[in-house]
Structure 1
Amino acid sequence: MIGRLSGTLIEKQAPEVLIDCGGVGYEVQLPMTSFYQLPAEGEPCTLSIHFVVREDAQLLYGFASKQERALFRELIKTNGIGPKMALAILSGMSAEQFVQAVQRDDITSITKVPGVGKKTAERLVVEMRDRMNKFAATLATPSADAFALGNPVENTYITAPDAKEDAIAALEALGYKATVAKKTVDKVHSAGATSEQLIKDALKAMM
């Protein structure tokens, strides 16, 4: 079982990164709230890992904190919620925002996540309400919440010429339809914006 990876961040293409650990490159998928907190390529990086073994693949899901990983594990215990949908939920909402939505029976906010219909959102609230009480005091994620809420957090990213294309591809990987992803990114695009900034602004606009 792989529970943590520490190494050098070689590549990052939201929502996936490649980390070199002792000469072995591990592909890891992250929710955007964790992705925003990554260092620059070439820098040391440590992630808490959830390891999934399937008949056709071995998949690694990474998180900036153990608390966010714990919430991911609670999400995939819920009937009808797989890892991809759990990543989408934690990309559109910070861990603390999701806990608050469940506690307040806020079905509307949860259904804004791609692939989460009203019945699924209702099931999440019903099945996770009691479990979320124990997370309420421990799931505060200041940096992730600041990004999700649109508040500035100090970080440095390189502006790429194809930032819009990267942002659209990331949103599609999270489950958003191509037309919706393109329309939203076009709407929030501004000169000099990085792909990470565009993804953050697009997610905020859709939520």
Structure 2
Amino acid sequence: MIGRITGTLLEKNPPQILVDVHGVGYEIDVPMSTFYGLPATGAQVSLHTHHVVREDGHFLFGFATDEERTTFRQLLKVSGVGARMALAVLSGLSVNDLAQAVALQETGRLVKIPGIGKKTAERLLLELRDKLGKALPNLSGARLAAAPDSAPDARSDILNALLALGYNEREALGAMKGLAEGISVSEGIRLALRHLSKS
């Protein structure tokens, strides 16, 4: 199993990144919570990873903190939840927010995440109720050192990230309307997701 990756960040195409480790490029899917804190391309990055082996291939998922990875693994244990849905949950809610939603049994916070209906949300909250608190005694996860990643095509990257998370083009473009010119990709995604969670 691959438990940690440290190398040079070559590409950022949310939710996937490419990390070069001694000449080998690893494609890693990350939640938006991790994506926000990534340094600029060309910089060194270190991620906790979860390696999934399936008949159709090997898949790597990366996380800024061990708490995120632990939560991801707990989500995978919930019946009917696969890696993509677990990634979507962590993209829509921080570890702390998810723990709070579970503690308060708030289905409303989960159904705002694309691909999660009321029944799935209820099942998640029920099955995580006893697991999440024990698995995450310390919910204060430090983020990766962030560097501004503004680029001329930031709006395109923001749109692609929202589409990759399951929002349709109309929803994504609507959430991007109020974004300032020259905004960084990570900040744009964060603000757009905040807008979508309120709508």
Q: TM-score scaled by structure 1?
A: 0.90
- State the alpha-carbon separation in 1 of the partners of residues 57 and 163 from structure 2: 21
- Equivalent pairs, count: 197
SS in 1 for 2:130: helix
Question: Which residue number in structure 1 is paired with residue 154 of structure 2?
Answer: 163
- State the alpha-carbon separation in 2 of the partners of residues 179 and 82 from structure 1: 26
Question: Which residue number in structure 2 is paired with residue 72 of structure 1?
Answer: 72
Deviation string 1:115-136 (CA, Å, 9 cap, x unpaired) is 1111000001111101122145
Is 1:177 the equivalent of 2:168? yes
Question: Which residue number in structure 1 is paired with residue 193 of structure 2?
Answer: 203
Question: Which residue number in structure 1 is paired with residue 99 of structure 2?
Answer: 99
SS in 2 for 1:51: strand
- State the alpha-carbon separation in 2 of the partners of residues 159 and 92 from structure 1: 22
Shift, 1:155, TM fit: 3.5
Question: Which residue number in structure 2 is paired with residue 24 of structure 1?
Answer: 24
SS in 2 for 1:42: coil
Question: Which residue number in structure 1 is paired with residue 180 of structure 2?
Answer: 190
- State the alpha-carbon separation in 1 of the partners of residues 2 and 136 from structure 2: 27
Point out 4+ residue stretches in structure 1 off by more than 4 angstroms: none
Shift, 1:158, TM fit: 3.2
- State the alpha-carbon separation in 1 of the partners of residues 49 and 165 from structure 2: 18
SS in 1 for 2:157: helix
Question: Which residue number in structure 2 is paired with residue 139 of structure 1?
Answer: 139
- State the alpha-carbon separation in 2 of the partners of residues 155 and 6 from structure 1: 16
Asked if structure 2 preserves the Cα contact closer than 8 Å seen for 1:15 and 1:170, the reply is yes
Unaligned runs of 5+ in 1: 145-153
- State the alpha-carbon separation in 2 of the partners of residues 185 and 141 from structure 1: 28
Asked if structure 2 preserves the Cα contact closer than 8 Å seen for 1:103 and 1:132, the reply is no
- State the alpha-carbon separation in 2 of the partners of residues 169 and 133 from structure 1: 34
Asked if structure 2 preserves the Cα contact closer than 8 Å seen for 1:99 and 1:135, the reply is no
Deviation string 1:6-33 (CA, Å, 9 cap, x unpaired) is 1111111221111000100001010011
Asked if structure 1 preserves the Cα contact closer than 8 Å seen for 2:65 and 2:143, the reply is no
- State the alpha-carbon separation in 2 of the partners of residues 86 and 178 from structure 1: 22
Shift, 1:111, TM fit: 0.8
Amino acid across the alignment from 1:169: N
Asked if structure 2 preserves the Cα contact closer than 8 Å seen for 1:84 and 1:174, the reply is no
SS in 1 for 2:131: helix
Unaligned runs of 5+ in 2: none
Amino acid across the alignment from 1:33: S
Identity of aligned residues (%): 44
Deviation string 1:42-72 (CA, Å, 9 cap, x unpaired) is 1111111111111112111000111110100
Shift, 1:156, TM fit: 2.5
Cα distance change on mapping 1:56 and 1:47 into 2, 3 Å = same
SS in 2 for 1:137: coil
